[in-house]
Every structure is written in structure tokens, then in C-alpha cells.
Amino acid sequence: MPGWPADAAELDRVQAALATAAPTAWRPGDRAPAVGGVFACFARGQAGPGARGDPAWAAAATGTAAVAVVRGAAGAPYRAGRLALREGPLLEAAVRALAARPDVLLVDATGRDHPRRGGVALHLGAVLDLPTVGVTHRPLLARGTWPGPERGAASPLVLDGEPVGAWVRVAARRRPLAVHAAWRTDVATAVAVVLTATGRARTPEPLRRARRAARTARARDGG
């Protein structure tokens, strides 16, 4: 399994390797999968890309009451396509702090919708050896038209002729989410997992709970 590189050149090499990896595809079994979510946030009031050492909070959650929060520091400023340098180790620590490992993990990042086809959602899954799905508000590089207005409608997100994700309408007549195939998941599986994990709120429940836990910890710490 890959680790977390210390600089951009090493990260580029790892991402290129991840892009060509062909792990066994994951599919949900007869029972509903235990879906987890992980989210990181940084101190309020910061402008621009931030810096190495910025205070950071990350939380992981499952669809039950299980939540884990960790505190740490950003590994680098934010750079498009190199988010792993900023928050990869922190996300890993939050997931490993969960008492029970989920079957599949939702990540606030892209997967193959990435300049080197190795976004954080894919990278984190490889590090953890855990199937992952990326969930974002918009794609990074991929493009596609929005789906129909009904819940469950989906339309492809394509990058250089390859489907790497989908726009998914998780709530009728509300803005769709960008759902990304990542580690051991294809587009169809990613869409199915997100719809299974989404209730009345637009954000899938495990990811919403992780986001709330991280931001609550930040507020309590005065961040």
C-alpha cells in the first residue's frame, strides 16, 4: 500500500502509480454495507491556500453513532491536485481511530477526476486498503450535463473520454452532487453507495456527521 509522500514530486509519482493500479473491484453483498465518511477542516478566518502547520481537525463517522475526531496540522498549503499533501495523513488517522471499520468510505475529495487520476479519495482508499467513493459539490476536471430532476437521476462525468464519476440527484429538484469512482469502486457502485447513504439532507449521512463532528471540535478548541 502507498503512504503519504512528503513533497509534490514524490506525490506525482505515487498518483501516477495509483492511476494504473487494478485492485479487485468491490461490490456490496447481500446485506446493506456499513458506510463511513471522513472530513477535514482548518482554522476559520484563513485566506488563500493556507500553509504547512495550519491547525486542523478531522473526523470519521459511520451510519451509526460511531464518530472519531483527531487533531493535527496541515502538511502543506492547498494546491489543486495535491490535496493529499495537506490533509492525507489526518484523514487516515481519523478513519483508523474509528472503533469499527466501515465496508466503504465516503471522502470529501475526488478519485479519478484528477490531473493524474489519483485524487485523495482514491489515494486514501489505497492507504487504508478500503473501498472509497469521492463526494464533492462540483467536479475537478471532468465534465457532464446535469441529470433529470428526480431523486436517483444520474449522468456521466467524463474526463478525456473516460467516465470517472457522475452527477447524482440525491434530492428531487435540488443541485446534484459530483460522485467519484475511487479505490476499488466503479461509477455505478459509487452512485449506488451515495444514494444508499443519503437521507433527507443533501449530503450523505456519514459524511454529514463527520463534517459536523470536525467543525464542532474546531469550535470547542477555539479554532
Q: Do the domain assignments include residue 91? A: yes
- Report how far residue 62's alpha carbon sits from residue 18's, in angstroms, rounded to the nearest whole number: 26
How many independent structural domains does the chain possess? 1
Residue 179 lies in a domain: yes
Taking only the tens of pLDDT, the chain with its 223 residues reads 689 999 999 999 999 999 999 999 999 988 889 999 999 999 987 778 899 999 999 999 997 778 999 999 999 999 989 999 999 999 999 999 999 999 999 999 999 999 999 999 999 999 999 999 999 999 999 999 999 999 999 999 999 999 999 999 999 989 999 999 999 999 999 999 999 999 888 999 999 999 999 999 999 998 8
Helix (H, G, I), strand (E, B) or coil at 223: coil
Phi, psi of 68 (to 5 degrees): -130, 135
Q: Any idea what the CATH number is for the domain that residue 90 is in?
A: 3.30.2170.10
Domain hosting residue 203, numbered range = 33-220
Grid coordinates standing for 153?
437521476
Main-chain phi, psi angles of 98, to 5 degrees:
-65, 145
* Residue 1 resides in a domain: no
Q: Estimate to the nearest angstrom the gap between the alpha carbon of 175 and the chain centroid.
A: 19
Output b/e per residue, 128-142; b: 16+ Cβ within 10 A. bebbbbbbbeebbbb
Q: How far apart are the first and last CA of the chain?
A: 33
Does residue 44 belong to any structural domain of this protein?
yes
Is 18 among the domain residues?
Answer: no
Contact (Cβ atoms closer than 8 angstroms) between residue 142 and residue 156: no
Q: Tell me if 6 is assigned to some domain.
A: no
Q: Say if 150 falls within a structural domain.
A: yes
Q: If you count DSSP H runs as helices and E runs as strands, how many of each does the chain have, helices first?
A: 5, 8
Residue 9 lies in a domain: no
Closest CA to 207 of 32, 60, 18: 60
Instruction: Report the C-alpha gap between 151 and 176 in whole angstroms.
Output: 9
CB atoms under 10 Å from CB of 31, counted, come to: 7
